[in-house]
Amino acid sequence: MADATPDASSNFGTLALVLTLAVAVLGLVGFYVLQQRSNALSNQSALGMAASQKKRNTIVLTGPMGAGKTALYTQLKYKKQQPTQTSMAVNASEVTVDSTRAFLVDVPGHQKFLFDRDAQLAGARGVVFVVDSVAVADNVRETAEQLYEVLANSKVQELETPVLVVCNKQDEMAALTNTRVRKLLEDEIDNLRGSRQAALDALGDTAEDDARAGDFLGYDGKKFSFDDIQNDVQFNECVLVQGHDLGGVTYVESWIGEALS
């Protein structure tokens, strides 16, 4: 019996250590879960503020994947470069831009976020559409389709929401100028407009067709031009890397200030 006491004490010590480690692990897991939930609620709260009551100072950042929307969002928010990667979640926050309080909503370019984009466009004071000036020549169809959908949005048309097309990555040799990007997009939107109208004509004259006919941009019988729509559409060259600006971020800030004035 005298020999059992040390073993019992040793077993008790081991059990106590295991329990302590288990509690520590559970505590870390719980902290991580609470932190993630806090971040999610914070993001939802920002989205809610941007969407509720059709906030009159919401600026939507949108455009194709990989164009640099999140890089622009972080520079506008933090006033400096931040490491970024392709975003797979909507980012939203209240920031000060050009001495003006604004709700910035960065919507990923993936198709599954189209509903989020359209929901935010309903109350937006301005839209910043970010384009990759290098890849746009190869991705002009996708880029033009997304810009077409923004400009054809019923609320964007009704409110005549201004749109700034930011031609990013101008520091790269293969980058197209904003004038060339504009011409490419006008040509492709003209093609899209024709194909969409042909599809409507093939369906026949129904109430649904009449409603969808509102998607037509510009003047029938005339080649599409951004000058022919009610929205003010501007193009600006931009570089979102350290040591470059070209008036890019500074101009975007100034444009947002004017849109919210």
Cα-to-chain-centroid distance, residue 52: 18
Residues 6 or more apart in contact with residue 234 via CB below 8 angstroms: 162, 163, 164, 165, 255
Lowest mean pLDDT among 6-10, 197-201, 229-233, 235-239: 6-10
Rounded mean pLDDT, 178-204: 87
Of 207 and 227, which is predicted with more confidence?
A: 227
Q: Which CATH architecture best describes the domain 55-259?
A: 3-Layer(aba) Sandwich (3.40)
Query: Cα(17)–Cα(23) distance, rounded to whole angstroms?
Result: 10
Looking at residue 230, its pLDDT comes to 94
Q: Which residues pair with 132 in a beta bridge?
A: 168
Flag whether pLDDT at 226 surpasses 50.
yes
Looking at residue 46, its pLDDT comes to 45
Per cent of the chain over pLDDT 70 is: 67
pLDDT in tens, 160-185: 999 999 999 998 999 999 999 999 99
Flag whether pLDDT at 53 surpasses 50.
no
Rounded to 10 degrees, what is the CA torsion of 52, 144, 153, 234?
A: 70
> Residue 38 — pLDDT band, cuts 50, 70, 90?
very low
> Residue 18 — pLDDT band, cuts 50, 70, 90?
low
Residues 6 or more apart in contact with residue 64 via CB below 8 angstroms: 109, 131, 132, 139, 142, 143, 146
Of 63, 56, 107, the residue nearest 238 (C-alpha): 63
Flag whether pLDDT at 41 surpasses 60.
no
Domain residue extents for the chain:
1-54, 55-259
Looking at residue 247, its pLDDT comes to 55
pLDDT in tens, 243-259: 555 556 888 999 999 99
Query: Cα(190)–Cα(1) distance, rounded to whole angstroms?
Result: 95
Flag whether pLDDT at 200 surpasses 50.
yes
